[in-house]
Structure 1
């Protein structure tokens, strides 16, 4: 899927991508066959929600209910129905995106820091 010109790729895996849109001050998360916009605070909340999923408990639980995790992010029309592998892939995607956002922020601070004489 070609990305619109206003979207800049932050991080990408074989299973999804996170894009930044400066025009609307939000992130677009492409995962599990769809793409969804998230304001910065909502993206952070999504990452916290996904990080809070206990993968080891999900893997060890033998009940049918543990096969899937339904995630309904706040202020989003999207609902994620994730199997165990999807949870791991989503965690990897959001962790990588967060790392790149942090790195970009540090680089911006270094490059735009006032020079002291």
Structure 2
């Protein structure tokens, strides 16, 4: 993984096929997948996930032409081009879905932790 000396990486989500890291100093995500790393601005990361999710796996399976064995995705504002077969698409979807879930979960937890003290959850204690 290419690391900037000023960067501060935290693992967001990891599978056997790759990992997503967050750099809080540069406000970006790093995707480590298929032997390469790619930095994404936050909005570009979610846009890339949508492109991967939009790949029609069924069409790839059904189409018998050689060109249907792979799909090419070129993320916005990155020098990398992803050439993915069906397994790679599925592995990347799993990785990106897990990362998105963890990002959203972290956001919800932070909202709860920073809730106004007057509105914080307080369990009701009742005497029976």
- TM-score, scaled to structure 1: 0.94
Partner of 1:37: 39
Residue matched to 1:78:
80
Structure with greater Cα Rg: 2
Match of 2:117, SS? Answer: coil
Q: Aligned partners of 2:12, 2:44: CA distance in 1, in Å?
A: 16
Superposed counterparts of 1:1-117, under 5 Å: 6-116=8-118
Distance in 1 (alpha carbons) for counterparts of 2:61 and 2:14: 25
Over the aligned positions, Cα root-mean-square deviation in angstroms equals: 1.7
How many corresponding residue pairs?
Answer: 117
**Structure 1 segments (4+ residues) deviating >2 Å:** none
Distance in 1, Cα, partners of 2:101 & 2:56: 21
Question: How far apart in 2 are the matches of 1:63 and 1:82?
Answer: 16
Q: Structure 1 stretches of 5 or more lacking a match?
A: none
TM-score (norm: length of structure 2): 0.86
Please identify, of 106-115 and 52-61, the stretch whose mean Cα deviation from structure 2 is larger. 52-61
C-alpha deviations, 1:61-95, integer Å up to 9, x for none?
11111100111011000111101100000011000
Q: Equivalent residue of 2:118, what SS?
A: coil
